[in-house]
């Protein structure tokens, strides 16, 4: 048994060294990103309007405004400020309110739009009582409440035959490394993201504004840089497990019996991953890819527009029949960022709800489940009850060789 223990220690050391190496790589990428951001900010701040720049605003109250491109005046006489007309205050601010673009003498051409009306809808979406915060919070609370009720009625799903004392390898070290890298990075991203959405109302009354500002600044840095670890882990997990998560007829039978989660003594056969785990896998992969794309777009503002082209594709697929109107395909850079921010939050909230259920089943909800990712070794009876077809395959592959099972101490 000392040989087995030594082997597990070496595997643990390999995982630790790999994690440290990845952390250093993420740190270097973070330094590069910060350097690029600072240089861009300095370049923008060094630009000043030329001395001969002109403005359409009057120099003093009561002075007339020179006709400009805000509202074509034609042959209309220039009107005083207190008279409505093509160059009156009402007309000027009406045009601004509708998103009129003026001219600027600085590199940031987006500054030519003083008021972006679409931003009002964006602000309402993410306001304190807006749908994003309201329905997102309701979804998280509903999942927690559902799991609590399920635990009260079902309790912890035990190994019905008890532990056999025989261990078999469920996941190799590289698989566990990919899983834990994905899990830890997602938890950090989820907590820092939830702080941005709900922290102002929840944390300021507890810690005060200064402490909240410090927490939020640290959380923002973590969110921006741990995102790279999450994306890397997403790729690793997909490459390692996609072949085991393809749908099969076994999954239909598993679903028809509810996976045995609601009835004692029912254990529908499954392969390495059952239908429930496959649903989690594909949800994380697809939603994770989507949230990653919108996240990269937000990390590099205005450099990676996603939604105008996406809306164009959706329109070509006939989304107008469902939506009631064609989606806008001419979006300003600011609109692109607003759509990316809203979509990023919606997808992240959906992932949080799904992962909460996954964490429950993999820890408190089922005896022996955590061992699969904790040590990589699971009890033979647990494996046979929940993944019987996988156990049969493992035994067939090891036939004629050394036994794959190892007695527990």
DSSP E strands, 274-395: 377-379
pTM of the model: 0.75
CA–CA dist 194, 231 (Å, integer) = 19
Contact criterion met (CB below 8 Å) for 408 and 167: yes
Tens-place pLDDT, residues 327-341: 888 888 888 999 999
379 phi and psi angles, rounded to 5 deg: -70, 145
Q: What is the pLDDT of residue 334?
A: 85
Q: What is the pLDDT of residue 72?
A: 46
- Residue position matching structure tokens 């020179």: 66
Q: What is the pLDDT of residue 271?
A: 92
From first to last of its 409 residues, what are the pLDDT tens digits of the chain? 445 555 655 665 566 566 556 656 665 666 565 555 545 544 444 444 445 444 455 445 555 555 444 444 445 454 444 455 556 666 667 666 666 666 666 677 666 667 777 777 888 888 888 899 999 999 999 999 999 999 999 999 998 889 998 999 999 999 999 999 999 999 999 999 999 999 999 999 999 999 999 999 999 999 999 999 999 999 999 999 999 999 999 999 999 999 888 888 888 989 999 999 999 999 999 999 999 999 999 999 888 999 999 999 999 888 888 888 888 888 888 889 999 999 999 999 999 999 999 999 999 999 999 999 999 999 999 999 999 999 998 888 877 555 444 444 4
Assigned CATH topology for domain 118-171+245-407: Fumarate Reductase Cytochrome B subunit (1.20.950)
Q: What is the pLDDT of residue 214?
A: 93
CA distances from 403 to 128, 272, 357, 394, 400 (A): 60, 19, 35, 10, 8
Q: In what order do the strands lie in the sheet with 166-169?
A: 377-379, 166-169, 406-407
Residues contacting residue 53 through CB under 8 Å, at least 6 positions apart: 105
Q: What is the pLDDT of residue 256?
A: 92
Domain boundaries of the chain, sorted by first residue: 118-171+245-407
**Angle, alpha carbons 276-282-285 (nearest 5°):** 140
Contact criterion met (CB below 8 Å) for 168 and 378: yes
């Amino acid at each position: 048994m000392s040989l087995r223990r030594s082997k597990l220690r070496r595997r643990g050391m390999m995982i630790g060294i790999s994690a440290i190496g990845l952390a250093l790589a993420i740190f270097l990428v973070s330094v590069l990103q910060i350097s690029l951001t600072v240089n861009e900010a300095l370049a923008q701040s060094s630009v000043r309007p030329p001395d001969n720049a002109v403005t359409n605003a009057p120099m003093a109250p009561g002075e007339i405004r020179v006709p400009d491109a805000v509202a074509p005046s034609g042959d209309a006489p220039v009107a005083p400020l207190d008279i409505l007309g093509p160059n009156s205050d009402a007309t000027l601010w009406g045009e601004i309110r509708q998103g009129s673009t003026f001219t600027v003498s600085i590199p940031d051409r987006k500054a030519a739009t003083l008021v972006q009306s679409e931003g009002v809808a964006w602000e309402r979406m993410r306001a304190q009582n807006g749908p994003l915060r309201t329905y997102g919070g309701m979804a998280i609370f509903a999942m927690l409440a559902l799991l609590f009720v399920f635990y009260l009625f079902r309790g912890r799903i035990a190994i019905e035959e008890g532990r056999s004392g025989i261990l078999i390898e469920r996941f190799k070290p590289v698989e566990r490394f990919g899983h834990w890298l994905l899990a830890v990075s997602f938890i950090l991203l989820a907590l820092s993201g939830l702080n941005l959405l709900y922290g102002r109302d929840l944390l300021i009354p507890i810690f005060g504004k200064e402490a909240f500002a410090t927490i939020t600044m640290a959380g923002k840095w973590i969110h921006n840089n741990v995102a790279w670890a999450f994306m890397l882990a997403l790729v690793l997990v997909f490459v390692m497990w996609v072949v085991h998560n393809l749908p099969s007829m076994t999954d239909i039978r598993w679903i028809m019996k509810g996976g045995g989660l609601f009835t004692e003594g029912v254990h529908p056969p499954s392969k390495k991953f059952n239908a429930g785990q496959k649903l989690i896998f594909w949800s994380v992969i697809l939603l994770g890819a989507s949230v990653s794309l919108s996240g990269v777009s937000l990390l590099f503002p205005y450099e990676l527009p996603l939604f105008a082209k996406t809306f164009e594709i959706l329109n070509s697929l006939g989304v107008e029949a469902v939506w009631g109107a064609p989606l806008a395909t001419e979006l300003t850079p600011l609109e692109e960022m607003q759509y990316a921010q809203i979509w990023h939050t919606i997808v992240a909230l959906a992932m949080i709800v799904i992962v909460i259920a996954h964490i429950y089943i993999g820890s408190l909800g089922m005896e022996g489940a955590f061992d699969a990712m904790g040590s990589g070794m699971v009890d033979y009876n647990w494996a046979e009850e929940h993944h019987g077809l996988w156990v049969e395959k493992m035994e067939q592959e090891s036939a004629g060789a050394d036994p794959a099972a190892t007695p527990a101490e």
